[in-house]
Structure 1
Amino acid sequence: MLNGGESSLKGGIMAAALSITVIFVPQYLRVVRAETVRIKAEAYVESARVIGASHWRIMSRHVFRNATRTLPLILTLNASEAILTLAGLGFLGFGIEPTAAAEWGYDLQKSLSDVTSGIWWTSLFPGLAIVLVVLGLTLVGESLNDLADPRLRTRRRGPTTAADVAETSVVPGAIAADDLYVDEKGAEL
């Protein structure tokens, strides 16, 4: 519909990019607005407002810096969804023209007839490529989420030794080494 029924390389890519962008932009706007409202209610923003900081300083120092932590996460997760959407459109025949550019969804659709006749490997490589790229982007997004979430951070400690474990272990009925007293002759009391 966007290209008037004709699909060239540039026009097909632009139509697919515009279609996917229109679908995902509202999600970005909702997340950015919710994060901005949350950060505006934080105590340090109120403190900056009380001491007389300008609106631009509050936005640049507090709101923008903290709101941009969630954007890479959403970007990587939406990139994997966009790849799946583009592959689905190509599989249905609504993607980029197959003579203009290679498309995994179109390749999967054409390999269906091969699979029914026993030639399964023609669908293996486009399907595997889609799965690996989407899985990789999803894992990157989840890793960014783990790095950005302060609740998941733990304090790093040095390696424990056997002596550290022995000092902190508790044996029922045993006497701790600190509870033993030794007299001048070396006898335990």
Structure 2
Amino acid sequence: MTTATATRTPAQFARARRWKAFRQFCHDFTTYRAGMVGLIFLVVVGIIAILAPVIAPSWMLDVTKIGEPDKFAPPSAEHLFGTDNQGRELWVRMVWGAQSSLLVGLAATAMSMVIGTIVGMAAGHFTGWVGGLLMRVIDFFLVLPSLILAIVLSSVLERGTLTIIIAIGLTSWAGTARVVRAQTLTVESRDYIRRSRVLGAGHWHILTKHVLPGVLPLVLANTTLMVGSAIIAESTLAFLGLGDPLTQSWGTVLKNATDASSASNGYWWYILIPGLAILFVVLAFTLIGRAVENILNPTLRKR
């Protein structure tokens, strides 16, 4: 053992071990071609969403500033993705819609994961009436249709992006909580947890120092899979008219296309392009989630 290694503190050892595990994870992830394809695609979409004000200035969405509108123009060299019912370039709406859809998907998933992780860990850690009560709450949200509850919340609260994030986040955490509870029970059955209790470790120490690191890989894998579901939920709520009509999103584009009877009138690009955008983004998150799950789950990795 070298002198530098001998003088390391336990915290430094822990950081070095985490950094080594992270580098190994990145190396393993690069071996999954499908996951890399999904990641590259999402990085491109993310860059486009971030640079939306530069790529497509907001004035291009203003009907009064685009000159003489060319309504329902099909895709061509002049109109890359065609135009909508107001003569606006569809590619401009898609660029701004990517910003809104990704924001809602990521934020709603983060809220759902935080709630599900906390409730699931608590339900698995605490015994007696506390754990039983938490399980009944989880079961209640599991049997309640999340989309119906999200529609109710979106109808009651003021319309806007924040409302959709809250509606999706508060209705989609139960599945994560159930999985985290099962993993918590598995982690707490190990010997080092029992030794910690014997040495006088409290609930907070056990949950944060031992249980959370044990369930975190499962949470991360579940998070990547949940983002796609959140984007679909956001598109569904916007399609039903529960989103902010002033905010561009792919669901809003689909709603406008339906209101204009695009399917029956032959305006195929108005429906096909936003539909494919949702499909490809959800597929990309799914590919990443499957790759992460295969890496973090020893059983799947052996297969």
Report the TM-score, using the length of structure 1 for normalisation: 0.68
Aligned length: 144
How far off its partner does 1:64 sit? 1.5
Distance 1:109-1:57 versus aligned 2 partners, 3 A rule: closer
Structure 1 or 2, whichever has the larger Rg, is: 1
**Counterpart among 138, 144, 152 of residue 286 in structure 2:** 138
Partner residue, 2:86: none
**SS of structure 1 residue aligned to 2:226:** helix
Within the candidate set 54, 57, 75, 2:201 is matched to: 54
Match of 1:120 in 2: 268
TM-aligned CA deviation for residue 60 of structure 1:
4.1
Tell me if the contact between 1:39 and 1:63 (Cα under 8 Å) persists in the aligned partners.
yes
- Unaligned regions of 5+ residues in structure 1, if any? 155-189
Q: What's 1:67 paired with?
A: 215
**1:21 offset after TM fit, Å?**
1.1
Aligned-residue offset at 1:82? 1.0
The one of 94, 106, 110 aligned to 2:252: 106
More deviation, 128-137/21-30:
21-30
How far is the alpha carbon of 1:43 from its aligned partner? 3.2
- The alpha-carbon distance between structure 1 residues 146 and 106, as it changes in their structure 2 partners (threshold 3 A), is same
Q: Is the 8 A contact 1:90 1:106 kept in 2?
A: yes
Matches within 5 A, 1:22-33: 22-33=170-181
More helix by share: 2
The CA deviation at 1:86 is: 0.9
Partner of 2:167: 19
Distance 2:266 2:214 in 1: 54
Amino acid at match of 1:103: S
Q: Amino acid of the residue matched to residue 248 of structure 2?
A: A
Partner of 1:88: 236
Residue 157 of structure 2 is aligned to residue 2 of structure 1: yes
**Amino acid in the other structure paired with 1:54:** A
Question: Residue 161 of structure 1 aligns with which residue?
Answer: none
Distance 2:236 2:296 in 1: 31
Query: Offset at 1:57?
Result: 5.0
Contact 1:91–1:105 (CA under 8 A) maintained in structure 2: yes
Q: Which has the higher contact order (CA 8 A, sep 6+)?
A: 2
Cα separation, 2, equivalents of 1:25 and 1:72:
14
Query: Is the Cα contact below 8 Å between 1:76 and 1:140 reproduced in 2?
Result: yes
2-structure distance, mates of 1:21, 1:35: 22
- Amino acid of the structure 2 residue aligned with 1:18: I
Tell me: CA distance 1:93–1:58, structure 2 relative to 1, closer, same or farther (3 Å).
Answer: closer
Cα distance in 1, alignment partners of residues 270 and 207 from structure 2: 53
Corresponding position of 1:45: 193
Q: How far apart are the structure 1 equivalents of 2:300 and 2:175?
A: 25
Deviates more, 1:35-44 or 1:120-129: 35-44
| Percent of matched pairs sharing the same residue | 33
1: distance between equivalents of 2:301 and 2:262?
Answer: 50
TM-score for the superposition, normalised by structure 2: 0.44
Q: Aligned letter for 2:286?
A: T
Q: CA RMSD in A?
A: 2.0
Whole-Å Cα distance in 1 between the matches of residues 212 and 288 of structure 2? 22
Q: Describe the SS at the equivalent of 2:273.
A: helix
